[in-house]
Amino acid sequence: MGAPDHRYLTGSRPARPVGTAPMMRVRSASDPAPGRAENEDVVFQLGPLVGVLDGATVPEGFDTGCVHGPAWYVRHLAARIGLAIAARPAATLMSSLAAAILAVRADHGGECDLDHPGTPSSTVCLLREGGDQVDYLVLCDSPLVLDAGGEVSVVSDERLDAALADLRGTAAALPDGDADPVTRFRRSVTVQRARMNRTHGYWAAAADPDAAYHAVTGTLPLRGPGAVRRAALLSDGASCAVEQFGLFDWAGLLDVTAAEGPEGLIGRVRAAERDHPDRLRRHKRTDDASVVFCEFGAAD
């Protein structure tokens, strides 16, 4: 048997019995960064729930206090979210995520220092269809793009970007020549870690279940003039098509994904990474990229 293929694509699958409306059709794709053996993103569908998780890559030379890595964490978190919602279908997404984070703490098995500032962490983007409405949850920088009521909007959690901007401002205030680039990078990572899951910092799924209650959440109708027609859940390795490369606007992203599929959107990102490396603003040249695309309408 050969090495496992970390790319995966799911076709359209109804989340409700045929004959009921509206139906949610789901397509998804996830692709590890070129040259990376392990994908630290996860996409999943569990009945009416879909999700994207993006594990935080550990910079080379940094400790985490944990014998596990980001890929392990996102796989366990996705499974625990599904179990939490299956056990309490009427619970809010916030409380289900909190229960999942708490369960993953136990999955570490007492081997890890879960108070370490570098403990494995992940963004969370969830969408749950509930007959006449959808509920959503966004935590950290995996945005949700919605086409509802004829308008395209983005649900995003801006706190990580705000924290990073603050860090850049602090670094700019230091005397010129204070440190070499490697030292400055290590310092910024250390400070960023110290701000995770703190007031006036930013929030992510890690070891503290309280982070779930700081997520951005909401509910939208699936019927009537304001109904949701399409939705895209994205890791930042896919949302960079708009945010970094400017290939199109958010409405264009939905149109491209509808026409070419999630794998087509990711393919465009990979081409942009090759052709326009000057537009990259992350410390890594490429990233894992994940997309879940949902369309809502009557059954065929």
14 plus 87 within the same structural domain: yes
**What pLDDT is recorded for position 179?**
62
How many domains, the chain? 2
pLDDT at 183 exceeding the cut of 50 = yes
240 plus 292 within the same structural domain: yes
- For residue 229, what pLDDT band results from cuts at 50, 70 and 90? very high
Q: Please tell me the distance from the alpha carbon of residue 154 to that of residue 172, in angstroms, as a whole number.
A: 30
**What pLDDT is recorded for position 4?**
36
Q: What is the DSSP letter of 83?
A: H
pLDDT at 159 exceeding the cut of 60 = yes
Residue holding tokens 């995003």? 156
35 plus 178 within the same structural domain: no
> What is the domain-level CATH number for residue 33?
3.60.40.10
Long-range contact set of residues 278-283: C-beta below 8 Å, sequence gap at least 24: 279/244, 279/245, 279/246, 280/244, 281/244, 283/59, 283/185
48 plus 183 within the same structural domain: no
**What pLDDT is recorded for position 61?**
87
- Asked whether residue 237 is domain-assigned, the answer is yes
Phi, psi angle pair for 10, to nearest 5°:
-110, 140
**Bond from prior residue into 22 cis (ω within 30 degrees of 0):** yes
**pLDDT tens per residue across span 28-58:** 999 999 988 899 999 999 999 999 999 999 9
- For residue 220, what pLDDT band results from cuts at 50, 70 and 90? very high
pLDDT at 154 exceeding the cut of 80 = yes
**What pLDDT is recorded for position 11?**
45
51 plus 163 within the same structural domain: no
Give mean pLDDT, residues 174-190.
66
**What pLDDT is recorded for position 283?**
55
pLDDT at 1 exceeding the cut of 60 = no
Give mean pLDDT, residues 211-228.
97
- Asked whether residue 31 is domain-assigned, the answer is yes
234 plus 284 within the same structural domain: yes
- Asked whether residue 1 is domain-assigned, the answer is no
174 plus 215 within the same structural domain: no
pLDDT at 226 exceeding the cut of 90 = yes
- Asked whether residue 41 is domain-assigned, the answer is yes
**What pLDDT is recorded for position 182?**
63
Gyration radius of the chain's alpha carbons? 19
**pLDDT tens per residue across span 77-132:** 999 999 999 999 999 999 999 999 999 999 999 989 999 999 999 999 999 999 89
- Asked whether residue 172 is domain-assigned, the answer is yes
Q: Please tell me the distance from the alpha carbon of residue 242 to that of residue 86, in angstroms, as a whole number.
A: 35
Q: Please tell me the distance from the alpha carbon of residue 228 to that of residue 194, in angstroms, as a whole number.
A: 38
174 plus 219 within the same structural domain: no
Residue-range definition of the domain harbouring residue 68: 8-156+203-297
